[in-house]
Structure 1
Amino acid sequence: MDIYAYIVRDHRKLSGLMDDLMSIRLPAVRQTLFDQIRTELSAHGDSEERTFYAALEHAIPTQEMNDKLEHSEHEHHEIKALLHVLDRLSISSEEWMEKFGELKFAIEHHIAKEEGEIFPRAKEAISPLDAHRLALQMDALKQQILAGQNASAVIYL
């Protein structure tokens, strides 16, 4: 598996979890799904920035790519901010569902930009072997992050 397939797999998993949550009415089940989404988002974003984005900075050292990566990192920060807002609202409220809809939209926008704009450029600059290695690196780092989150039982975003 290369880095693109790895990231797409993560994206599809998150999309499925978000779709599931949108159809849930029971607050306890909704909370469980939201906790899983938050954990996945945190681990995905951090590991992606430290592996894939770092590799792109070296492979494509242009202002255009730098701008795209900065924009993507900004989107990661916006997503984390929305997670914090959601944490402060009652999960059974309409306001929570509205904010979750905003989060879902922000994530879907980020996925579309990343897969549609960054991936094509990356595929031109990163060899297939390096793309495979990046997937292994991102997965190893993501597993470390997830293990650390599970060990601490508190997720800091």
Structure 2
Amino acid sequence: MKPTTRGTLAAVMTGVAAAVGAAATPAVAAATVPIPVPLNGVEQSLGLKAPEVAGELPLPLPGRPEGPRYAEGRMTPAGAVPQVPLSGGLPGADVRTPLPHVLDGGFEHLGLSAPAAGLRTLTPGADLDSPLGAPDPARLGLPGLKEPQAAVLAPLVRTTPTANLEMGSGA
């Protein structure tokens, strides 16, 4: 293979790898969507230093529900209406506001930072069992009767939110 052919092939492969990498990066990195709150107009119209406000909104991602589980002695599988897992997060906020310093002309600030927290949930589900039992050899293979059973599977929420409140000197 000629060196010019090899160089052209290497350049094409590099371009393809860069295009594929650039296309895959936003999907992987987009766990939260930033939400800026523009307050520049308030600062210019009132002549005061305005607070800086920003937020984060996490994107919910559905998971794979657990399939039915067959149990011995039951006509219907356990988990007739499966629980669907969802993962995402609680929204985050970052607020920083200046406070006028009484003794001199400088400013102090008050800040609150509450990053987006991970959130794992399971939707409610149902578990049902029919009023027919297992086939009974003493009754020529006919199933026996039993009380029907129904249960609601409770939803589940797991998260650990955090926040940081600070006060200090500087703008």
TM-score, normalised to structure 2, is 0.23
Larger radius of gyration: 2
Higher relative contact order (CA 8 A, sep 6+): 1
Structure having the higher helix fraction is: 1
